C-alpha cells in the first residue's frame, strides 16, 4: 500500500479521521494525500470574489489540520483541484494510483440521524477506489479479528482483494467469512472464490433478510475489529446506496468498515 487519500470536510471530526490515517500510513510507510471535500464550486460564478475567499479559508483550514497531526514519519501532501470532488479523486487515482481512501462517515453533514453523509456516500458509491470508513473519534488500533460479510462469493478483478490481502499480511488479521443468503438468492451466487476462502479462518452461512441483519447476528460471537464488505452494482449497498446518504436506522457500524471495489 503506497498511496492513501483522506478527504477532509468541515466537520470537527476531521482531525480524528486524519490522525487515524496517519497511524495507518505509518504502518505501511505510505504517502498520505489530503483533499478538501468541501466544494465551493457550487457557488454561482458571478460572485467569484466570495468563492475565492471561501477557497482561501478552506485551504487554510485544511493546512492547519494537517499541521496539527504532522509527523516526520509520514509524508503528507495536500491536493489542489477545481470542480467536482469525485472527478478530482479519480483524476488523482489515474495520475499516481490510489490504494485506499480513508474517510469519516459524515465529512460535512451534522445530521445525527445519518450514518453516512452525502460526501462519504458519493465517495463509496461513485469511485472505483477501496474505502476505509472510520467511525467518529475512533482511535487507530491493529485489527486482530475481521468479518467479511457478503451475499455473492465471486470476486472480479485481480486487484479487488488487494487491500484485504495487505491488511492480513501486515496485521495478521484473522478474517471470518459470513455468507448471507438473502430472499431470492441464486445458487450460482453461492460459489465462493478459492482465493477468498484461503484468506479466511472459516465460513459461516445463514439465511436472512439482509446482509446487515446477518452481521448483527454474528457480531457478538465473532467480536470483529473491522468489518469488510464488497460494493457491487447489485450487492451489499444495493438498497442502502440508492441515495448518497445512509441513515443509522438502516445501517450502522461502531468499527472501521472496509469497502472493497472491483479493480
Walk me through the domains of the chain, giving residue ranges and CATH numbers: 3-133 (3.40.50.620), 145-260 (3.40.50.620)
Q: Would the pTM of this model clear 0.85, i.e. be above it?
A: no
Which residues of the chain fall below pLDDT 70? Answer: 38-58, 106-111, 152-158, 182-193, 205-211, 232-244
Q: How many whole angstroms separate alpha carbon 164 and alpha carbon 257? A: 12
Q: How many whole angstroms separate alpha carbon 227 and alpha carbon 213? A: 13
Q: Residue 186: CB partners within 8 Å, gap ≥ 6?
A: none
pLDDT value of position 237:
53
pLDDT value of position 214:
72
Extract the C-alpha cell encoding 166. Answer: 495487505
Dihedral over alpha carbons 10, 15, 20, 26 (to 10 degrees): 110
pLDDT value of position 16:
87
Average per-residue pLDDT for the chain = 77
Amino acid at each position: 500500500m503506497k498511496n492513501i487519500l483522506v478527504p477532509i470536510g468541515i466537520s470537527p471530526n476531521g482531525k480524528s479521521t486524519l490522525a487515524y490515517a496517519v497511524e495507518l500510513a505509518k504502518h505501511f510507510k505510505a504517502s498520505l494525500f489530503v483533499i478538501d471535500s468541501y466544494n465551493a464550486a457550487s457557488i454561482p460564478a458571478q460572485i467569484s470574489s466570495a468563492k475565492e475567499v471561501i477557497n482561501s479559508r478552506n485551504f487554510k483550514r485544511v493546512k492547519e489540520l494537517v499541521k496539527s497531526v504532522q509527523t516526520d514519519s509520514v509524508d503528507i501532501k495536500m491536493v489542489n483541484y477545481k470542480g467536482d470532488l469525485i472527478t478530482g479523486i479519480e483524476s488523482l487515482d489515474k495520475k499516481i494510483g490510489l490504494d485506499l481512501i480513508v474517510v469519516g462517515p459524515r465529512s460535512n453533514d451534522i445530521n445525527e440521524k445519518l450514518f453516512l453523509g452525502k460526501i462519504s456516500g458519493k465517495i463509496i458509491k461513485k469511485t472505483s477506489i477501496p474505502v476505509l470508513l472510520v467511525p467518529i473519534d475512533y482511535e487507530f488500533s491493529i485489527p486482530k479479528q475481521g468479518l467479511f460479510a457478503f451475499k455473492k462469493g465471486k470476486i472480479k478483478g485481480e486487484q479487488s482483494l488487494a487491500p484485504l490481502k495487505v491488511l492480513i499480511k501486515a496485521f495478521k488479521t484473522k478474517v471470518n467469512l459470513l455468507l448471507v443468503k438473502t430472499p431470492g438468492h441464486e445458487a450460482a451466487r453461492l460459489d465462493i472464490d478459492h482465493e477468498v476462502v484461503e484468506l479466511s479462518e472459516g465460513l459461516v452461512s445463514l439465511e436472512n433478510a439482509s446482509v446487515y441483519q446477518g452481521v448483527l447476528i454474528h457480531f457478538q460471537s465473532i467480536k470483529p475489529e473491522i468489518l469488510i464488505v464488497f460494493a457491487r452494482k447489485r450487492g451489499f449497498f444495493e438498497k442502502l446506496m440508492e441515495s448518497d446518504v445512509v441513515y443509522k436506522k438502516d445501517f450502522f457500524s461502531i468499527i472501521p468498515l472496509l469497502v472493497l471495489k472491483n479493480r
